[in-house]
Amino acid sequence: MSEPTQSTQAVDPAQIGIGEVAHYNLERLYADKHFPEMRNAYKFAIAYALSKGARPTKLESSRKNVFSISTIDPDGLLRLAIETLYPVGDESPYRIAERLADWGVGEVTRLVYEEYKSIGDLLPDA
């Protein structure tokens, strides 16, 4: 169990992004109607990475801004989840979110297009 902490040192960015390759895959997942909107795919990828215990240290390709923070996390739930499940330290949880999304999109894309899984298949049993 991680100690509940509230990061105050890092300043949150206004925009949140993802690597260019992952962005391409994000668009593909949305265009192929696996998600109603791109931001849903983005958050799903973050959650998938967190659930798999991923600790990515960098983006796999050059960064690209995609969403504003207020769009992607209007209720602060994403921040809460990251702060609860990830050793945030002094870093802004949204910077961590970018790396998690970058990693997660790669995994989800691989599972959907190479292993022919549906998004329902990737969800844990209730």
Partner 1 sequence: MFLKTLRIRNFMPFKGWHQIDFPGSDTKNVVIVFGDNMRGKTSLLNAIRWAFYQNALDRYGEKIPLQKLVNSDAAGEDEWDLEVQVSFEHDNKQYEISSRAEKRRGVGTPNRPEDFVVATDLQINGEVVRGDRVAHEINRVVPEQISRFFLFDGELLQEYESLLADDGDQGKRIKEAIEQALGVPTLISGKNELRALRKPYDRQWQQDLKKNQEVKSFMEELSALTKRSEDLEEAKAKLQDQLSSAKHQYQELQQQVNAAEARYKQKAELDQYVSSRTKVSQQIEQIELRKLESVRDAWLDVLRPDLERQTRDLRSQAAADALVLAEIAKAPHLREMAQSSLDSGVCSLCQSELSTESRQILLGVHGSGETAGEIDRVATRFAESNQLANRLDGVRYPQAKKRIAELDATAMDLSLEETRLASEIDRLRDELQGFDSDETNRVRRAAENANAAIRTLEAKFSQVDEELEKINTKQQSLRLVINQNESAKNQRSGKIVDLISTAEGIFASAVGMMRDDLRMDIQEKATSAFKQLTTDTSYKGLRINQNYGLTIVDEKDRDVSLRSAGAEQIVALSLIDGLNQTGRSTGPVIMDTPFGRLDPRHRSRVLQYLPKSANQVVLFVHEGEVDPERDLMQINSKIGAVFALERVSSSQTKVVRK
- Give me the residues that bind partner 1 (CB under 8 A), please: 1, 4, 33-37, 40, 43-44, 46-48, 50-51, 77, 80-81, 84-85, 118-120, 122-126
Read off φ and ψ for residue 17, nearest 5 degrees.
-135, -160
Q: Any bridge partners for residue 18, and if so which? A: 64
Nearest approach, Cβ of residue 62 and partner 1 (Å): 25
Q: Is the dihedral of CA 84, 10, 58, 47 positive or negative?
A: positive
- With beta carbons less than 8 A apart as the criterion, state whether 19 and 64 touch: yes
Taking the least distance from each CB to partner 1, the nearer of 35 and 67 is 35
Nearest approach, Cβ of residue 98 and partner 1 (Å): 15
Taking the least distance from each CB to partner 1, the nearer of 62 and 87 is 87
